[in-house]
Amino acid sequence: MKETAGDSADSAASTVNYLRSATATLIPGSAPFLGKVFDQIEQISKEHGDDVKKIFDETYKDFEKLAKEGGLDSQTASKTVDILQKRVKELQELAGAAGGDAYNKLISENPKLKDQIAEQYDKLKEVVEKAKEKKPEAQKLLEDTSSELAQIFKDNGVSKEAVQKAQDLLKKKAEEAKKLGEDLAKEAKDDKKKK
């Protein structure tokens, strides 16, 4: 952890790699469990540049302070997890706002679509909202769906076929979100049995 903020902030990828390394140092054995989280962070960083850099800089400062104050003990590991949870939540909110913006822009530019896809989108969003706290990939599902919807109408115009493609996409994504919700419920049930 001898890198400087300048070294680790040269690019989003190097910052994510630094955070991966710092986390692995502060929480030995965490790499396999946190790999997915860092993969998602890397994807969000590619899509949201400067806003993500601000969050990375704050995370870096938090880790730097923790490395100076803490040791390699369970209290430091716990604080590291708290920092990561806080920052991942900020990143998810950033990504969610951007995904929602794509959908909202699509609807505002094509008001008649609201009657044709809004109900399905709102249901998907509701499932994602319930699941995203425990399953961060749920937020990405909504984000990707918003982008895919925008692309469908960009490529095909607001045609009957495009509306059908959008409805099919929303149906497919709703099934994926439902599966995430079911997995979450199963995990909660399994956790309850363990106690």
Residue 172 placed within a domain? yes
Q: Are residues 15 and 58 in the same domain?
A: yes
Residue 120 placed within a domain? yes
Q: Are residues 3 and 70 in the same domain?
A: yes
Instruction: At 159, give phi and psi (nearest 5°).
Output: -105, 170
Task: Please tell me the total count of domains within the chain.
Answer: 2
Question: What pLDDT does residue 192 have?
Answer: 67
Q: Are residues 68 and 125 in the same domain?
A: no
d(CA 79, CA 82): 5
Contact 84, 27 (CB under 8 A): no
Q: Are residues 71 and 115 in the same domain?
A: no
Q: Are residues 23 and 69 in the same domain?
A: yes
d(CA 106, CA 100): 10
Q: Are residues 82 and 120 in the same domain?
A: no
Contact 57, 7 (CB under 8 A): no
The tokens for 7 are 């070294």
70-94 pLDDT, tens digit each: 776 778 778 887 887 787 778 767 7
Closest-CA residue to 165 (of 94, 96, 111, 117): 117
For residue 133, give its domain range: 110-195
Residue 7 placed within a domain? yes
18-71 pLDDT, tens digit each: 777 877 776 777 777 677 677 767 766 766 667 777 888 888 888 888 888 877
Q: Are residues 73 and 143 in the same domain?
A: no
Residue 100 placed within a domain? no
Mean pLDDT of the chain: 75
Percent of the chain with pLDDT over 70: 77
Q: Are residues 73 and 125 in the same domain?
A: no
Residue 76 placed within a domain? yes
d(CA 141, CA 186): 20
| Confidence grade of residue 4 (pLDDT, cut at 50, 70, 90) | very low
What's the predicted TM-score (pTM) here?
Answer: 0.47
Q: Are residues 6 and 56 in the same domain?
A: yes
Residue 97 placed within a domain? no
Q: Are residues 60 and 114 in the same domain?
A: no
Residue 95 placed within a domain? no
